[in-house]
């Protein structure tokens, strides 16, 4: 490749596509490189797509994007071995003209997104792995080296949208690899069912969809969560826990997934389904405190590679799209002023990101990842077990007086955590949440 580009975008996931699309729409000469056979071929996500962030990029996306179901119901379950205690929110308000959240299948969605990027004028090369960043004598990134023959390309700026592993950036010394306590390993399966069976099981009609998020004994005391998302004719089901917790406990992701599927509240939902896909992927979970340097001379980093993920609200793709768009807008502004792509000028990206919901939300929850990690046994095992026991006592009618039942419930809470422990957990959770 002999040409010189205004910008090179590495990766064609949510962040890379948002960046490449915005740069191309603003008239910049963009090259996007993706190691997969096509955009989406390497991507794994639950997946929920947040319309607002995509609408800012492609206002008419609902016309032809491959969307599965729009969400009208969100369930949160706390489980022990045999039961679940649930919080359900369902609203007909979500049956709106322009729904807010959709389930998607990333392989199909990313392919569609990439088509829009190409139509906007970006040059997209798949099956091309960027091997390293090219830096000048002063360390400024001036291009990339790919695995193609004579595959060196120069550009004013490189947008690193290479996902959670972020090998290029770490190899070039631009940031450190996130440690094992800051990334979760998630495994996921697709369970296919006839549409009418799926809709009857989840109480859905038309394009309505539901999501179930599950914490409790399924993660064996590790920081983690299970999820169930409804697609048109399939269910995405998976579980993820921190890599450092897997290392310490000796549990395997596949073992946890089997346990999750065999839970009585879950097995009934997937009974008789045909499993067609199995995938594993990392998720950045370190939050605000794990965010690396976001820009430098000739480069910016966006999306999962920048650890932009809000694990509390299960938001990743929207932060990826927003950071990709904002980085592109900053680059466009610098370019319009005919200024060079120096670290000093690219600091504009960080400033714009700081002013957006992305950094504000992550900053709000900055203490949450560590708290959930340190107190995982309490939050992911002890309390779900205690709540299940309390609920069982509460609803079972067996001649034991209500007063005795209340005493027994209180005794089990105090025996498991002590009053000081419960107050301490509640206080630290409230502080991290504020």
26, 33 contact by CB (below 8 A)? no
Among 181, 317, 378, 382, binds ligand FAD (CB under 6 A): 317
Tokens representing 417 are 């955590």
- 45 binding ligand FAD? (CB under 6 A): yes
- 318 binding ligand FAD? (CB under 6 A): yes
Among 309, 345, 378, 382, binds ligand FAD (CB under 6 A): 309
- 316 binding ligand FAD? (CB under 6 A): yes
Q: Which is nearer to ligand FAD, 22 or 317 (CB)?
A: 317
- 304 binding ligand FAD? (CB under 6 A): yes
SS3 310: strand
Q: What contacts 290, CB < 8 A, 6 or more positions away?
A: 178, 182, 284, 307, 369
**Which one of the spans 162-170, 212-220, 270-278, 327-335 is the region binding ligand FAD (CB under 6 A)?**
162-170
**Which one of the spans 155-163, 250-258, 347-355, 360-368 is the region binding ligand FAD (CB under 6 A)?**
155-163
CB of 33 to ligand FAD, least distance (A): 5
Among 33, 122, 214, 256, binds ligand FAD (CB under 6 A): 33
- CB atoms < 10 A from the CB of 182, how many? 20
CB of 162 to ligand FAD, least distance (A): 4
How many Cα atoms within 13 Å fall on the side-chain side of residue 200?
8
SS3 303: helix
Among 20, 315, 352, 379, binds ligand FAD (CB under 6 A): 315
CA distances from 204 to 48, 209, 349 (A): 17, 6, 42
**Interface residues for ligand FAD in 76-135 (CB under 6 A)?**
129-130
Please tell me the distance from the alpha carbon of residue 236 to that of residue 143, in angstroms, as a whole number.
38
Tokens representing 54 are 């995509």
CB of 294 to ligand FAD, least distance (A): 13
- 303 binding ligand FAD? (CB under 6 A): yes
Judged on CB neighbours under 10 Å (0-12, 13-18, 19+), 29 is middle
389, 413 contact by CB (below 8 A)? no
- 209 binding ligand FAD? (CB under 6 A): no
Q: Which is nearer to ligand FAD, 230 or 309 (CB)?
A: 309
**Which one of the spans 308-316, 366-374, 412-420, 424-432 is the region binding ligand FAD (CB under 6 A)?**
308-316
Please tell me the distance from the alpha carbon of residue 371 to that of residue 242, in angstroms, as a whole number.
13
Among 7, 16, 107, 113, binds ligand FAD (CB under 6 A): 16
- 307 binding ligand FAD? (CB under 6 A): no
Q: 79 — phi, psi (to 5°)?
A: -120, 150
Q: Which of 3, 291, 324 lies closest to 159 in space, CA to CA?
A: 324
Among 73, 80, 156, 162, binds ligand FAD (CB under 6 A): 162
- Residue 183 is given by DSSP the state E
Please tell me the distance from the alpha carbon of residue 315 to that of residue 307, in angstroms, as a whole number.
12
Q: Which is nearer to ligand FAD, 352 or 390 (CB)?
A: 352
Among 6, 34, 156, 208, binds ligand FAD (CB under 6 A): 34
Residue with tokens 């105090």: 414
SS3 92: helix
CB of 399 to ligand FAD, least distance (A): 46
- 369 binding ligand FAD? (CB under 6 A): no
Among 22, 32, 43, 219, binds ligand FAD (CB under 6 A): 43
375, 424 contact by CB (below 8 A)? no
Q: Which of 276, 200, 192 lies closest to 235 in space, CA to CA?
A: 192
- 7 binding ligand FAD? (CB under 6 A): no
Binding residues for ligand FAD, per CB under 6 A? 10-16, 33-36, 42-48, 129-130, 161-163, 168, 186, 188, 238, 281, 283, 303-305, 309, 314-318, 320
């Amino acid at each position: 490749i002999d040409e010189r580009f205004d910008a090179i975008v590495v990766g064609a996931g949510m962040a890379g596509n948002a960046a490449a699309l915005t740069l191309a729409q603003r008239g910049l000469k963009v090259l996007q490189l993706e190691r997969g056979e096509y955009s989406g071929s390497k991507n794994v996500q639950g997946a929920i797509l947040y319309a607002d962030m995509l609408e800012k990029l492609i206002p008419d996306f609902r016309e032809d994007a491959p969307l599965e179901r729009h969400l009208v119901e969100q369930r949160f379950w706390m489980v022990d071995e045999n039961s679940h205690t649930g919080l359900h929110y369902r609203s007909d308000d979500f049956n709106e003209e322009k729904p807010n959240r959709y389930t998607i299948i990333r392989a199909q969605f990313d392919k569609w997104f990439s088509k829009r990027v190409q139509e906007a004028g970006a040059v997209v090369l798949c099956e091309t792995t960027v091997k390293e960043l090219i830096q000048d004598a002063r360390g400024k990134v001036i291009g990339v080296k790919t695995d193609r023959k004579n595959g060196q390309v120069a550009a004013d700026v490189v947008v690193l949208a290479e996902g959670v592993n972020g090998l290029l950036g770490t190899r070039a010394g631009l940031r450190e690899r996130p440690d094992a306590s800051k990334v979760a390993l998630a495994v996921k399966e697709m369970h296919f069912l006839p549409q009418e069976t799926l809709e009857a099981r989840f109480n859905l009609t038309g394009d309505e969809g539901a999501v179930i998020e599950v914490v409790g004994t399924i993660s064996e005391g590790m920081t983690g969560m299970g999820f169930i998302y409804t697609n048109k004719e399939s269910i995405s089901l998976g579980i993820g826990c921190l890599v450092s917790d897997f290392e310490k406990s000796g549990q395997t992701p596949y073992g946890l997934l089997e346990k999750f599927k065999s839970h009585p509240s879950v097995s009934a939902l997937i009974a008789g389904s045909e499993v067609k896909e199995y995938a594993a992927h990392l998720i950045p979970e370190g939050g605000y405190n794990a965010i690396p340097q976001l820009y430098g001379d000739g480069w910016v980093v966006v999306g999962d590679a920048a650890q932009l993920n809000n694990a509390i609200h299960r938001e990743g793709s929207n932060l990826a799209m927003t950071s990709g768009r904002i980085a592109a807008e900053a680059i466009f502004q610098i370019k319009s002023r005919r200024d060079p792509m120096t670290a000093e000028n690219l600091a504009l990206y960080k400033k714009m990101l700081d002013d957006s919901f992305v950094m504000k939300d992550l900053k709000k929850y900055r203490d949450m990842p560590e708290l959930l990690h340190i107190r995982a046994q309490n939050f992911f095992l002890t309390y779900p077990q205690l709540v299940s026991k309390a609920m069982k006592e509460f609803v079972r009618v067996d001649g034991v007086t209500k007063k005795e039942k209340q005493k027994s419930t209180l005794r089990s809470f105090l025996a498991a955590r002590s009053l000081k422990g419960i107050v301490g957990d509640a206080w630290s959770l409230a502080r991290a949440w504020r």
